[in-house]
Amino acid sequence: MSRIASVLLPMPLPEAFDYAEPEGMDLAVGDQVAAPLGPRLMRGVVVGLRDAVGGNRPLKPLAERLDEPRLPENTLEFVQWAARYAVDAPGGPLAIALRGARAPKPKPVKVLELTGAEPGKLTPARQKVLDAAAAPMSPADLARAAGVSSGVVKGLVDEGVLAVRQIVAEAAFDPPDLSRPGPELNPSQRASAEAMTALLDEDRFGVALLDGVTGSGKTEVYLEAAAHALAADPTAQVLILLPEIALTQAVIGRVAARFGAQPGEWHSDVAPPARRRTWEAVASGRCRIVVGARSALFLPFLNLRLIVVDEEHDSSFKQEEGFIYHARDLAVVRGRIEKAAVVLASATPSLESLRNAETGRYRWLRLAGRHGIARLPDIELVDLRVTPPETGRWLSPPLVTAMAETLARGEQTLLFLNRRGYAPLVLCRACGERMTAPDTDSWLVEHRYSGRLVCHLTGFSMPKPDRCPHCGAKDSLVSIGPGVERVEEEARLLFPEARVAVFSSDTVFDAREARRLVESMAAGDIDILVATQAAAKGHNFPKLTLVGVVDADLGLRGGDLRAAERTYQLLAQATGRAGRRDRPGKALLQTYAPDHAVMQALAAQDRDAFVAAEMEEREFARLPPFGRLAAVVASGTDPGQLDAFVRTMAEAAPNAEGVEVYGPADAPLGLVRGRRRKRFLVRADRTVDLSAYMATWRARVKPPASVRVAIDIDPYSFL
């Protein structure tokens, strides 16, 4: 009896499609297949099989089963759960899960191997080649291994002693060397490591929050847990998630040093053929350790035993476009599906994770002090109302003095400003026109390096004009406010002998360049590093003793409910780069609001007081972590049609106890790429299944073809 295969396609389709299984194909759940969809064949994954009993319609047969690794059932369960949670089509997370399988295969390489024929004349050089040719290798490698010229190798090929063969090189992924000793742990680290190994030994799902101040040695602790997981089961796999590509290079180096083998690397900068090699090695179990960005969570692990989410508080774990998800939250779900241990590590944990630790849902492991003799930096607030910078400058006198003293001691300074480019705003002093991107409300940011004005939201860029496009006034466009390029300019002017560098996504384009810059800073080849958040977390610079925060108030502006929490986390991470070895550190925070609770908590280094106050405010308002949020953004090119649709959508909102719907209202960024945007915000009690509520609401309305609706469960952006 033939069977029906339910096939999920990596497309925005609401459900799996049914196909007939051809005779003899013998499919299994997880197989990748070529499925006809209209006039073309699409890659899909079998998610269900059933007997074809009582069918009343003919089904298209599948074209073929692809010669690709099968997706494990746990991976498929995770993909489908993630789609339901995000109130999105399952094809979105499936496309992420298949990203490696859909990448191009590595090109075959030419190798030489022995044929068994004897050479007509055996010279000492030829004997060396025969001895070295025990395993297939390229002509150049064989000549190098034998210590002979390429002509000797070519002669043996011409005689038929060596044959040319094309092969696809398989990534090695050497197994971790678990006999290598780990670092010496202090009592606090050892206690946390033992608690993690106990969690792993229970062989069931569990979550631990590794809460340690900056420089307390959290990486060493979770690597000990990884070593235990790998030693306990020869097929076990470990995933380490990081929020920034720049951080992966440092962690990969530490993993390689600890285990004597390179881990798999997974992020957007990995070349597609290398991505495919890693994907296939994970699917076959050959790659046992993966270090990567958020999408690594969707890899087809065979036996995932430990997931580490490093810097778990970081907002970069939130994917804002396409399939919208938060990798920290989905990591916990994947751990539950895999029955694996999950470790969330941070010096400044999110309020959600702290609440789960306080209520006992997570095990709370604390590292109270820095490793070794290092201690936390002293933090001082610079009141810019009392000691402002000179006119046209951005660094205050106290900060300039501290920088001079630091340079005189041969130590390093980090100037932190979480704003790319030269200036965040360009306006005309003749008519007041603010330069914005076409069809978008976002201001254009000036970049002096390239001489262009750039929209960081849409990617639009243009040369900086010499006249105002609005009034035509010549040379009237002025730069308002500082970006990292402008701070770098000032640092070079103040300290012309200093070696100054900028670390931002505009100056560091890929993982290789990030590693080079981090290594230069760690080696002491840079005196002053001007950086955005790319350098504010996770890095260890032995000679860095001064951190200057140029605009500590920046993150407090706007209506984001997490503004205070994010600002505290970011500044605590940035100031924590100072004094991480045997040299005392110091941090100066320039602020116009020194009395703000965030600034006072940072100066006093009293995280607990800040968290308690923030928790109290959130509980009173029933906001996360004491409530749930969801956002709906509807966008369209016709303002009248969009307004009519959002009114209809508001009327269709289900009535449910414990749910409040706010809106529709204009989004703060009301125009993006020519599309008008309207927002709803939904607040729900913790007892409400918010995903189910949003799915019901979405099913009640059918937007016009020109209107798009995006749902964001637990939003982090309110623009």
Q: What is the pLDDT of residues 347-398, one digit of tens each?
A: 899 999 999 999 999 999 999 766 554 567 889 999 999 999 999 899 999 9
Domain CATH for 302? 3.40.50.300
637-664 confidence digits (pLDDT tens): 999 999 999 999 999 999 999 999 999 9
Residue 300 domain-assigned?
yes
Most confident among 363-377, 536-550, 696-710 (mean pLDDT): 696-710
Quick check: is 408 in a domain? yes
Give yes or no: residues 62 and 131 share one domain. no
Look at residue 574 and give its three-state secondary structure: helix
Q: Predicted confidence band at 1 (pLDDT cuts at 50, 70, 90)?
A: low
What pLDDT is stored for residue 175 in this prediction?
Answer: 92
In a domain, 428, yes or no: no
CATH number of the domain to which 670 belongs: 3.30.70.600
DSSP label of 296: G
Residues 61 and 155 in one domain: no
pLDDT of residue 249: 79
SS3 label, residue 126 = helix
In the sheet with 627-636, reading across from the earlier edge strand, the strands are 659-672, 675-685, 627-636, 708-713
pLDDT tens per residue across span 584-626: 889 999 999 999 999 999 999 899 999 999 999 999 999 999 9
pLDDT tens per residue, range 240-286: 999 887 778 788 889 999 999 999 999 988 889 899 999 999 999 99
Q: Which two structure tokens, joined as six digits, stand for 451?
A: 């001489």
From residue 297, give the alpha-carbon distance in Å to each of 75, 240, 244, 308.
Answer: 10, 9, 15, 11
For residues 694 and 433, what is the distance between their CA atoms, to the nearest angstrom? 41
238-250: b (≥16 Cβ within 10 Å) or e: bbbbbbbbbbbbb
In a shared domain, residues 531 and 563: yes
**Domain total for the chain?**
5
Distance CA 279, CA 104 (A): 12
Answer yes or no: is 81 within a domain: no
Is residue 472 in some structural domain? no
Question: Which of 25-34, 166-175, 573-582: highest mean pLDDT?
Answer: 25-34
User: At which of 24, 51, 72 does a domain end?
Assistant: 72
Residue 538: per-residue pLDDT: 64
**448 — pLDDT class (breaks 50, 70, 90):** confident
- Shared domain for 585 and 494, answered yes or no, is yes
- Mean pLDDT estimate for the chain: 91
Please determine, for residue 182, whether its predicted confidence score (pLDDT) is greater than 90.
no
Assess whether 363 and 263 both reside in one domain: yes
pLDDT of residue 644: 96
Helix ranges (H only) for 162-299 are: 187-201, 218-232, 245-259, 272-284
**Which of 2-16, 52-66, 124-138 is modeled with the greatest confidence?**
2-16
Statement: residue 14 has pLDDT above 60: yes
- From 425-429, 452-456, 509-513, the region with the lowest mean pLDDT: 509-513
Is residue 534 located within the same domain as residue 387? yes
pLDDT above 80 for 427: yes
Residue 228 has a pLDDT of 96
Question: Nearest to residue 245, comparing CAs of 505, 609, 488?
Answer: 505
The predicted structure's pLDDT at residue 377: 83
Average pLDDT over residues 292-314: 96
Three-class SS state of 390? coil
pLDDT 10s digits, 495-541: 999 999 998 877 777 777 878 888 898 889 999 999 988 776 667 78
Burial class (CB in 10 A: 0-12, 13-18, 19+), 191: middle
Place of tokens 């607030």: 381
Please state, in angstroms and rounded to a whole number, the distance separating the CA atoms of residues 606 and 599.
Answer: 10
Is the CB of residue 8 less than 8 Å from the CB of residue 94?
Answer: yes
* pLDDT score at 68: 93
Question: Is the domain of 548 the same as that of 587?
Answer: yes
Say if 103 falls within a structural domain: no
Average pLDDT for 11-25: 92
The answer to whether position 688 is within a domain reads yes
Are both 406 and 497 inside the same structural domain?
yes
For 363-466, strand residue ranges (E) read 363-367, 378-383, 412-416, 425-428, 445-447, 452-454, 461-463
The reply to whether 84 falls in a domain is no
Give 113's strand partners.
Answer: 163
Burial (CB count within 10 angstroms: exposed 0-12, middle 13-18, buried 19+), residue 562: buried
Residues 407 and 536 in one domain: yes
Mean of pLDDT values over 85-97: 96
CATH code, domain carrying 64: 3.40.1440.60
Residue with tokens 């241990």: 341
The pLDDT value recorded for residue 581 is: 64
pLDDT of res. 537: 66
> How far is 625 from 608, CA to CA, in rounded Å?
16
Q: pTM for the complete prediction?
A: 0.88
- On whether both 643 and 606 belong to a single domain, the answer is no
Q: Domain of 392?
A: 378-419+482-615
Question: Under the phi-then-psi rule, with left for phi > 0, alpha for psi from -120 to 50, and beta for the rest, what region is 204?
Answer: beta
Residues 541 and 397 in one domain: yes
Which residue is listed with tokens 């002293």?
378
**Is the domain of 383 the same as that of 528?**
yes
Give the pLDDT score at 109: 82
